[in-house]
Amino acid sequence: MATRRRLFSLSVLLAVLMGLTLTACTEFEQRDKRFYYRALWNFALRDDLKELDIDFNGIDFGHSHLYESLLLTGAKDVSAIEDNARKETLGFIASRPALPPNEEAIAPTYMKLAWRAQNTFDEAHALHRSTYDIYVADLSATEKALAIRKVLAYYQDSAYALSAQRLDHQRLDSLPYAKAFRRKFPLFNATIWAYHYLQVAVYDALGHARDLSAKQQAVQPVLAGYHQYLEQPPVQWTFMPLTAEYSPRLAEDYPAVANIFDNLHMLHDTISDILASPQFPTWAEKRQEIYRVLDAYYLAVADATNPMIVREGAGTAPAHPHP
In 3D space, the residue among 164, 258, 190, 220 whose CA is nearest the CA of residue 52 turns out to be: 220
Q: Supply the pLDDT for residue 29.
A: 77
HSE-up (13 A, CA, CB side) for residue 47: 12
Distance CA 33, CA 118 (A): 10
In 3D space, the residue among 54, 86, 55 whose CA is nearest the CA of residue 226 turns out to be: 55
Q: Supply the pLDDT for residue 17.
A: 41
Distance CA 48, CA 247 (A): 21
| Per-residue pLDDT tens listing for the chain (323 residues) | 554 554 444 444 444 443 443 333 335 677 777 888 899 999 999 999 999 999 999 888 999 999 999 999 999 999 999 999 999 999 999 999 998 899 989 999 999 999 999 999 999 999 999 999 999 999 999 999 999 999 999 999 999 999 999 999 999 999 999 999 999 999 999 999 999 999 999 999 999 999 999 999 999 999 999 999 999 999 999 999 999 999 999 999 999 999 999 999 999 999 999 999 999 999 999 999 999 999 999 999 999 999 999 987 655 544 555 65
Using a cut of 0.85, tell me whether the model's pTM lies above it: yes
Q: Supply the pLDDT for residue 27.
A: 58
E-assigned strand segments in 102-188:
none
Distance CA 4, CA 194 (A): 68
In 3D space, the residue among 105, 102, 119, 110 whose CA is nearest the CA of residue 69 turns out to be: 110
Q: Supply the pLDDT for residue 323.
A: 52
Q: Supply the pLDDT for residue 248.
A: 98
Q: Supply the pLDDT for residue 314.
A: 54
Contact 290, 119 (CB under 8 A): no
In 3D space, the residue among 301, 276, 302, 304 whose CA is nearest the CA of residue 289 turns out to be: 276
Domain boundaries in the chain?
Answer: 43-302
